[in-house]
Every structure is written in C-alpha cells, then in structure tokens.
Amino acid sequence: MDLRQKYIGEIDSMHLTHDVEEAIRKNYKNLSSDILIAMSYSPVQKLNTLISYGMVVGGVFFSIDVLYETHNNITINDIRKISCDNFLDFINDNQYIKYGL
C-alpha cells in the first residue's frame, strides 16, 4: 500500500492511501485542500482503531475511514461520497467531523 505523508496542525501526521489520493485527485480536485483540512479535524481515539466519520466539504457529503496508528498519527483508508441522509446518520451517532458546520 502506497502512503504519502501529509503534515497538519493538531495531529502530527496524516497519511493517505494511494486509493484515497487518487479518489480525491480524480473526483474532487477543486475541493482537495478543504478535504485535507477537514480530515485533520479527526478527533483523537484509541490506538489501532478504525473509525468511519461523516463530513461535509463544499456542500458535498463524505464518509472517511480513519485508522489511528498512534494518538498523533492517522491513516485515511477510504473516502466516498454519501447522501445527506447518510451524513445525518453519522451526526446521530456523533461520528462526524465538525469542520465547516
């Protein structure tokens, strides 16, 4: 799995899998900077935990899968566009990134 490291403020480092990088580059290039910033707001969780979060960037709803390798290092394993209803489910479960809301 090819990973590229991105440095952000609150978390020491964020890695994106090759598939995530390609999905952002091909499908959401105009939102790429905002998507990366939003991902950096992932809350700290237990080590070796994989959690799905909902987020909204530029009016587009996304689900991302975040792997917490350490408290300050995360890997984004997946990103996919979701419906508003799916995003509301993430809100009801308190599993959403509070960026841009």
- At 3 the pLDDT is 43
- At 7 the pLDDT is 36
Confidence of residue 67 (pLDDT cuts 50, 70, 90): very high
pTM for the complete prediction? 0.82
The distance from CA 77 to its chain's CA centroid, rounded to whole angstroms, is 8
Q: Please report which helix (H) or strand (E) contains residue 22, including its range.
A: helix 18-27
Q: Which of 27, 17, 14 is nearest to 97 (CA)?
A: 14
Confidence of residue 88 (pLDDT cuts 50, 70, 90): very high
- At 2 the pLDDT is 45
- At 40 the pLDDT is 84
- At 101 the pLDDT is 60
Domain coordinates in residue numbering, the chain = 3-92
